[in-house]
A and B are shown apart, each in its own frame.
Chain A
Amino acid sequence: MADREERKFAELPRDSIKVMAEAIGVDLSDDIAAVLAEDVCYRLREATQNSSQFMRHAKRRKLTVEDFNRALRWSNVEVVCGYGSQDNLPFRSFKDGELFFVEDREINLVDLALATNIPKGCAETMVRVQISYLDGKGNLEPQGTVPAAVQSLTEDLLKYYQQVTRAILGEDQHLMKVALQDLQTNSKIAALLPYFVYVVSGVKSVSHDLEQLNRLLHIVKSLIQNPYLYLGSYIKSLVSSVMYCILEPLAASINPFNDHWTLRDYAAMLLSDILWAHGDLVSGLYHQILLSLQKVLADPVRPLCSHYGAVVGLHALGWKAVERILYPHLSAYWSNLQAVLDDYSVSNAQVKADGHKVYGAILVAVEKLLKMKAQSHAVPAECSASEGRAEREVSPGLSPLQEPLSELGFGFASHILQGGPGVPSEKPVPVPLPTMYNELYDFFGDSLAVRFSTGPGIRHPDGRVTISDRLFQPSDIKKEGCGAGSGNSNVETTRKMPQLTASLSISPRDDGSPKLDPTPQSCSSNSISARSASFHCSSSLPRSKSSSSSRQGQRSAPRDVFQKSRFTHSQATVPHLSFLISGRQMGRRCQGRRFQTSFPRLHPASSSQAARGYAHKLPVIGRMVKPIKRWVCSEYSLHLPL
């Protein structure tokens, strides 16, 4: 052995020779085998040495099978066929004993011949010239690391880019889907990444057009799901675009007919996706996002839709974010919301509708928080819950929490929160669950209790709703002012809850927060089984309407406006109940409330310039970086123009 190492070349054991001889039917004595083995080794070494010459002259560093075969041929030895593949031929070991072999799979030629994916030939060999160094001066750093953005694009790529952007932003729905699908799977578009990021950053110029915004967000989704792309620092730019959609009072939201809520939900979902998949790319990203969400939430001057965005954003980031940001802030915020909700004046209708949206969002977030919290301290939670059960008739609610179902999404955000780089280690003040529950109950009353209690049943593994068939309720609210305490609950209390459903179902790995399990608080008196049967909501408007009408006789509660909030769950088969809290009122515009007065129109919808217009501008790297920096350091940087 030592000898072998010292000599540094392969040696063939005598046994191998004997085995080979046996294979061709010759019986060798040991002596002959030994002599043969030695000779074979020598010939192999000789051939190897000769083959290295062919490698050197081919100006390669890697010795190929072909080189070896040439050496064999020139020494009048038959070449070895069948090993010309460029791929590695790994030695596999046989399980028992020290037997190694090269896997030699049988290939069905018929399949190969009839295969439809005929491989294309390689691209044409060509020569390209560039001036590498001028007057002997150039960048002395290795040029291999040139950022992707300054790589000159080949014509093919440019064409691809134009086609794809045109398809996505164009009229044809089918084409858009195909383009998005390709964007999601294409492995060769790394060079185009900055261009697409730039296109996405066009959100700020199309804030009047929900459709376009939606499509741009879809681009983001495709990009982050493409496994071949390394987003790197572009992640910041993408996040800032998404945050814009979540938080900004979009021009489109002036018109109450526009369902910008859905857009915000979707964007929040995207945000969680980004953090989930790429949160580690930029240190402190999570923290920065939390910070800006908090700022929006804490700013009473902002319109309600921004607050809504902040809440769903926090919700999307996970229950820990909710606990850290939303929960401590709730009491302060509550008074404002209360004021809005309690104003029954007609002029306030619109704002109030918005307020209900926010209310619903908070409710959902808080509910999630409680559930996760309960789960994380399973045992103490149950104890406390059982106490609460006795007191507050929430009894049936807590026990199912321990069901593993809700673990599905348990904590991407908590993972980031704890382990993410740059996130300060300050922990939220640990509030014991009962205390928290009590506090929250003060705000939400029974609606919380009811929702809380019904949690686990809803989550349906297949609950996937694509954005296209998402629930869209144009205007099913007739009135809203009269909702409180009215007996005719199904009509007046049909309020659309924020469509968190969408985000839930699209990202099932999300921590299950938007478990919108709408049971009216009256249900608390019902049996569990009855409630669990009622979880399912329709995924289409008519169904929800009809089902909403089916549910009756809700007991009015302090916040009975919300009591019948229902959420769509995509188990569309059994549309049981859907009480909708609508966040929208048709035909009424109310202004003059402070939520509305401060509505900043930073980007008037006047600019009809579609994002498509950006498609042809070549982005400069510096431009990609700038807004991120601003976003980091300035307060409301999100809406700073690029």
Chain B
Amino acid sequence: MAAIPDGPVKSETELEVKPDSVNDIAGNPNVVQGIGGTPKTSPSVAATVASVTPPDITDRQTLLAVLQFLKKNKLLESEETLRKESGLCLDNEEQSGSVDGGSVCATGDAEGSDASLLSRVSGVTSAPAAAAVTGAPVPAKVTSATSAGDDQPDVSVVLSAYSQQGDPALYQVYYSGLKKFIESVLDCHRAELSQVFYPLFVHMYLELVYNQHEAEAKDFFDKFHGDQECYYQDDLRVLSGLTKKEHMKGNETLLDFRTSKFVLRISRDSYQLLKRHLQERQNNQIWNIIQEHLYIDIFDGMPRSKSQIDSMSGSLAGEARREANKAKVFYGLLKEPEIEVPLDDEDEEAENEEGKPKKKKPKKDSLGSKSKKQDPNAPQQNRIPLPELKDSDKLDKIMNMKEATKRIRLGPDSLPSICFYTFLNAYQGLTAVDFTDDSSLIAGGFADSTVRVWSVTPKKLRGVKSAADLSLIDKESDDVLERIMDEKTASESKILYGHSGPVYGTSFSPDRNYLLSCSEDGTVRLWSLQTFTCLVGYKGHNYPVWDTQFSPYGYYFVSGGHDRVARLWATDHYQPLRMFSGHLADVTSTRFHPNCNYVVTGSADRTIRLWDVLTGNCVRILTGHKGPIHSLAFSPNGKFLASGATDGRILLWDIGHGVMIGELKGHTDTIYALKFSRDGEILASGSMDNTVKLWDATKAFDDIETDDFTAATGHITLPENSQDILLGTYVTKSTAVVHVHFTRRNLLLAAGSYNP
């Protein structure tokens, strides 16, 4: 399967952590996953390396690096052995400073990460040391990155891979030669092979820049950047600004590009064609790049068409590897706990109309039978430990079920009514909105660091009385719960102060007792809606936190931010339970799967990842968006996912198969809000373009014929039916839509701030 000639790929999970988050990793044993693919002990490394004899130049360099590493870590014995075995006797001084100079080049892109991890854990090395582990092709190429003292050692190591070079003048010749070749091949192969252009272009450009051929690099860029796909424009802009070797240090985008292999999916025929061409021409420059920096995922079968390729590409690191989406996902819903619905209320209503009781009964049965029968796709009930239901939760569930019986059945012919909640005088900037599930409260996060909560029912917000007042209360009385509330300070809204930066995300707990908010200041805060005070500040993200959400069962929550890591927390732990790392850029949005077993994250690297809460593994990587993903929504049955990005497109995904099943075009600006109706028939989307759009989700999902082939390869041909699926566009009064929410009766609520 794996096409890289060097050998099989071991780890499909990559761990890429930014320097400043290292401390977190060090303190958190949960992160151990993801490093599994790499060698465990240094002696074994040494042994493996030693077995590669006689060493050619590359291996020699590698050996030197290993030796240096061993020495640094005081593994003198191993060092001795290795030295003897390889027959090398070298001056260590020579190597230490040589990384920058390029005389010794670390060509491998894998590292002895366990060792570096070790050193980090033991606190030997200081913070900036970080590990960039990618799929390690061969253990033979091992290099140490832990050279303390240099500011960004791993970056220079990573970049030093570019130091191998040919004649800079020939780069253009190589590239245009390849271009000519690809343009001359058969149509069916051309689209596939064209995928090579972009990564090749980037890497060649970087090589030129790294080797300080600035003029050639500029020429190269000017000549060929127009050929690249339009959806890479943003990256190209970053690239064009980068003209010096010095710039390459510390450039995150670049680091991403370098540390992760760009993944291409190419059919076997096309690949052979390319390979033959390059070998015939002895075009080693390009061939080297392809081997070093590209991961070509070869599949058997028909080459894909241009549209097929376009729909899947666009992410920072190419498409997802196919095996990344092979893991089984239990997308079914959990069995609902059985709750006795008190019948007396229902009977009262039944008296009103005669026809109703008959209708109701079968409905209830169907609900019951559904929950009794275990969904084959559902995870085990206790796969993730969930909090026990409290009495109040049960009451709420009963309310929910009652409301559900009054729910309006939506469809193309019966569209929901829309209520718009306009935030007026929000000069400070509204940045996030959330509704409670029962639509009784609305919370707004603002750029002035405040969180404000409003009651949208006539019931005012009441806090608990002060301690002094509480001591006066008759604690034996029946209505003690009522008496502890402070009627005097009751108001329509409450302001929560605590953050020291714009609040980018808010989320209510399902039981309406808590509110989460995350902010630019790097913290997630938990607020009590009883006392309207802050209970906990969760510190872990050292960078702005872009989004947070409570799990549908409460207790757990997920957060994601600028440090590219999504974290899973429990409200009673001050440290995260899981860290989901793998995204190559900021985690911009996070959502829980309805069954609480999975977390989905959208990122600025234009991929969506689905993470297993139990194992912490990434089980799905979904590519296809052409911009940062700012909104995500699961369908109520847990089977489908909708995602919206800055490019104004909504993509629909089948979680089980891990394939894209729809593309909804229509919005003209970033989609900040997505929500399925309670029954999953309608998808509502809210965007910066001041519109709410309704989509026929049923039709979108039904139209997909999932035969085995597409399911197996993920090569889906998307129908161009956005206009058929679009049910309506609803314009606001110059108000960007920040949030959409369906009430339990399927009334659509939307919210945004009016900014004239």
Contacts and interface: CB of A to CB of B under 8 A. Distances in A.
A54 B561 CA distance: 12
Contacts of A130: 419-420, 422
A39 B628 CA distance: 28
Contacts of B493: 126-127
B424 A53 contact: no
B418 interface: yes
B243 A59 contact: no
A59 B736 contact: yes
B30 interface: no
Contact of A144 (B446, B672, B733, B738): B733
A49 B429 CA distance: 21
A129 interface: yes
Interface stretch (B102-110, B471-479, B723-731): B723-731
A129 B424 contact: no
Which of B543, B544, B738 has the most chain A CB atoms closer than 10 A to its own CB? B544
Contact of B672 (A7, A59, A146): A59
Interface string B446-475: 110000101010000000000000000000
A530 interface: no
B240 A7 contact: yes
Contacts of A49: 237-238, 241
Contact of A133 (B426, B452, B454, B730): B730
A66 B750 CA distance: 28
B732 A53 contact: no
Interface string B220-238: 0010000000000000011
Which applies to chain A's interface (DSSP): helix, strand, loop or mixed? mixed
A42 B241 contact: yes
Contacts of A617: none
A57 B504 contact: yes
A54 B447 CA distance: 10
Contact of A127 (B222, B454, B630): B454
A144 B672 CA distance: 21
A86 B587 CA distance: 30
Contacts of A135: 414-417
A131 B417 CA distance: 7
Interface in B593-650: 604, 628, 630, 646
Interface in B635-683: 646, 670, 672
Given A38-B244, A53-B586, A58 B429 contact: yes
Interface string B115-127: 0000000000000
A129 B670 contact: no
Interface string A35-61: 000110010011001000110111111
A74 interface: yes
B734 interface: yes
Contacts of A8: 237
B197 interface: no
Interface string B259-300: 000000000000000000000000000000000000000000
Nearest to B504: A57
Given A136-B727, A138-B730, A143-B731, A42 B243 contact: yes
A83 interface: no
B427 A122 contact: yes
A509 interface: no
Contacts of A159: none
A239 B628 CA distance: 57
B242 A42 contact: yes
Nearest to B225: A6
Contacts of B421: 127-129
Contacts of B429: 58, 60
A287 B446 CA distance: 55
B419 A131 contact: yes
A278 interface: no
Nearest to B727: A136
A8 B750 CA distance: 38
A127 B452 CA distance: 10
Q: Size class of B's contact patch?
A: 35 or more
Interface in A370-401: none
Interface string B713-751: 000000000000001111111101010000000000011
Nearest to A86: B427
B417 A59 contact: no
A6 B226 CA distance: 11
Contacts of A56: 628, 630, 646, 670
Which of B417, B429, B442, B694 has the most chain A CB atoms closer than 10 A to its own CB? B417
Contacts of B414: 135-136
Interface string A326-344: 0000000000000000000
A134 B419 CA distance: 9
A132 interface: yes
Contact of B426 (A42, A61, A125, A134): A125
A420 to B, nearest CB: 33
B423 interface: yes
B246 interface: yes
B646 A136 contact: no
Nearest to B750: A132
B431 A58 contact: yes
B502 interface: yes
A365 to B, nearest CB: 48
A171 interface: no
A78 B81 CA distance: 51
A9 interface: yes
A133 B417 contact: yes
Contacts of A59: 430-431, 670, 672, 688, 736, 738
Contacts of A57: 431, 502, 504, 544, 546, 588
A622 interface: no
B192 interface: no
A143 B562 CA distance: 37
Interface in A59-75: 59-61, 66, 70, 74
B630 to A, nearest CB: 7
25 contacts: A6-B222, A39-B246, A49-B237, A53-B604, A54-B520, A57-B504, A57-B588, A59-B738, A60-B429, A74-B544, A122-B427, A123-B425, A125-B423, A125-B424, A125-B425, A125-B452, A126-B425, A128-B421, A131-B418, A135-B414, A136-B417, A138-B418, A140-B731, A142-B731, A143-B732
Interface of A: 6-9, 38-39, 42, 45-46, 49, 53-54, 56-61, 66, 70, 74, 122-138, 140, 142-144, 146
Closest 9 CB pairs of A and B: A136-B415, A45-B241, A133-B418, A123-B425, A132-B420, A132-B418, A134-B417, A129-B421, A125-B425
Given A54-B544, A57-B431, 8 more contacts: A9-B241, A39-B244, A126-B425, A127-B423, A136-B414, A136-B416, A140-B729, A144-B734
